[in-house]
Structures are given as structure tokens and as C-alpha cells.
Amino acid sequence: MNRSVKFGIGACLLAAAIGYLMFAGVQTSSSYYFKVAEFIPRRDELAGEAVRVAGRVTAGSLRKQTTAKGTEMSFSIGDFVGPDHVPVEGAVPVTYTGVVPDMFAEGRDVIVEGRYVDGVLQAHAVMTSCPSKYEPKPGEAAQAAAN
């Protein structure tokens, strides 16, 4: 076999290996992104799929327990309605074990990554948003508009 044929075969094998690794990386890291209101109507068809769901931690739903694996939490997330009012029918139950973000609390906006299995979003990552000092406090926007 001549040298250029060997080089061509080697280049094709290398390109195929790189292509496979790119495809496998995208498949394992890709997930659907939804807000709670978008996720709830489609939750049955997304069962078992990797999803990211954005919402607000429902007041009174947080349960924590410290174990050797980390902190086990169960809570529910609802749509971005308001700090104290999240409709019960719009809540998605979540379980998570791991390191809890510093800013995590009831009423906080979160993004939860995981799989929806047996009616529960089993999270492998929980991310919180930092409160912005530039956002008006509830009622300030209406008062400023009235002036």
C-alpha cells in the first residue's frame, strides 16, 4: 500500500472518531428548556427526557435532610406569578441530592436540570438567580407609574 493511501485512511478514521465524539457530546448534554407553564402540559411526553425547567420555589414546599451524599431536598416549583402566590395546580415536584446553592430559598427563582420520572423532576443540578438591585420591589413599579 502506498503512503498516500495509508495517510488518507488514517485521516478518515480520525475524522470519523472526532465526529462521533462531537455527536455523543451533544446528545448527552442537550436538554429541553421550559418555564413551568410550558412544561406542565407536555410533562407526560417528556417523561424520561433531559429537561431544564425554570420557575419559582413554592412557599412552604421545601424539605431538607443532610446525608453522607449531600443535602437531600424535595420542593416544588411554580410559574413566575409572584413571591407569595403560586397556583398549586401549576407546581412541579422536584427532588435533589447534592450541594445546595447559597442563594436557594423559598420564593427564589431557580432553574432545575434533570429528568421527569414518575411524576417527579429528579434533578441533578439546581441553579438560582441573584436578586437584582435594579429591579423594583413589588408595588414600586405601580407607584412610579402613577407619579
Is residue 45 predicted with pLDDT exceeding 90? no
Confidence of residue 82 (pLDDT cuts 50, 70, 90): very low
Q: What's CA 70's distance to the chain center, in Å?
A: 19
Q: How long, in residues, is the chain? A: 147
User: % helix / strand / coil in the chain, to the nearest 5?
Assistant: 30, 35, 35
Per-residue pLDDT averaged across 30-42, rounded? 82
Structure letter (DSSP) for residue 37: H
Nearest C-alpha neighbor of 101 from the set 39, 42, 57, 67:
57
Nearest C-alpha neighbor of 39 from the set 105, 127, 120:
120
Is residue 17 predicted with pLDDT exceeding 70? yes
Confidence of residue 131 (pLDDT cuts 50, 70, 90): low
Per-residue pLDDT averaged across 27-42, rounded? 78
In the CATH hierarchy, which fold is given to the domain comprising 31-128?
A: OB fold (Dihydrolipoamide Acetyltransferase, E2P) (2.40.50)
pLDDT at 112: 93
Cell numbers for 97, please give them: 441530592
Nearest C-alpha neighbor of 55 from the set 82, 34, 31, 36:
36
Residue with cell 451533544: 26
pTM of the model: 0.64
